[in-house]
């Protein structure tokens, strides 16, 4: 199966380098942004997070194609760290522990629960499709990082899979392991 992970285009929060997680923001000036990905013109299936930024990106990419919204592909809820910047939080010990996955004092979703949710969603999506499928998943940077960290054959660190807004990763999926094909 060919799997294209696409990170949504930028929101105002992305431009301001804020943790927007579960905040449902529109794209910021979508006409001035572009997807820097070589995506299939007619994928077998398109899946998207339910948050506006992903839905809007999906509609820009595939305006006349049906898509399936998957709630479990949404970004992490950063809780009390939501809408704050790294500079606002970098001296906060609770924040540093949260990002390191040591302690969840965010009041939002724990990183472990988030990763588990994202991987389960990917496995559920792909289990229902033939391996001959070509799918596009429009989601969030954290969602891609969670899935790739768990299932990629390279077994890199979570943060090594960061993906810029509007960029994509193409992988092959054999039912057990993701293999990146565009490095």
Identify the H or E element spanning 86.
Answer: helix 86-89
Locate the domains of the chain by residue range.
2-180
| Domain 2-180: CATH class, spelled out | alpha beta
The answer to whether 162 and 32 are in contact (CB under 8 A) is no
Q: What is the pTM of this model?
A: 0.95
pLDDT at 183: 54
What is the rounded distance in angstroms from the CA atom of residue 116 to the CA atom of residue 81?
20
pLDDT at 109: 92
Per-residue pLDDT tens for 121-132? 999 999 999 999
Q: Is 103 a residue whose pLDDT tops 80?
A: no
- Of 133, 155, 131, the closest CA to residue 47 belongs to 133
């Amino acid at each position: 199966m060919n799997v294209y992970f696409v990170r949504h285009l930028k929101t105002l929060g992305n431009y301001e380098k804020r943790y927007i997680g579960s905040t449902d923001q529109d794209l910021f000036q979508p006409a001035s942004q572009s997807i820097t990905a070589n995506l299939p013109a007619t994928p077998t299936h398109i899946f998207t997070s339910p948050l506006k930024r992903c839905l809007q990106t999906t509609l820009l990419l595939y305006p006349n194609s049906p898509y399936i919204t998957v709630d479990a592909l949404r970004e992490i809820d950063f809780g009390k760290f939501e809408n704050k910047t790294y500079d606002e939080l970098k001296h906060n010990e609770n924040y540093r522990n949260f990002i390191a996955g040591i302690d969840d004092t965010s009041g939002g979703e724990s990183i472990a629960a988030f990763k588990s949710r994202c991987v389960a969603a990917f496995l559920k999506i792909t289990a229902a499709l033939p391996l001959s499928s070509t799918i596009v998943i429009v989601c969030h940077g954290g969602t891609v990082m969670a899935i790739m960290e768990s299932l990629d054959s390279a077994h890199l660190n979570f943060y090594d899979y960061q993906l810029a807004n509007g960029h994509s990763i193409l992988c092959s999926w054999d039912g057990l392991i993701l293999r990146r094909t565009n490095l």
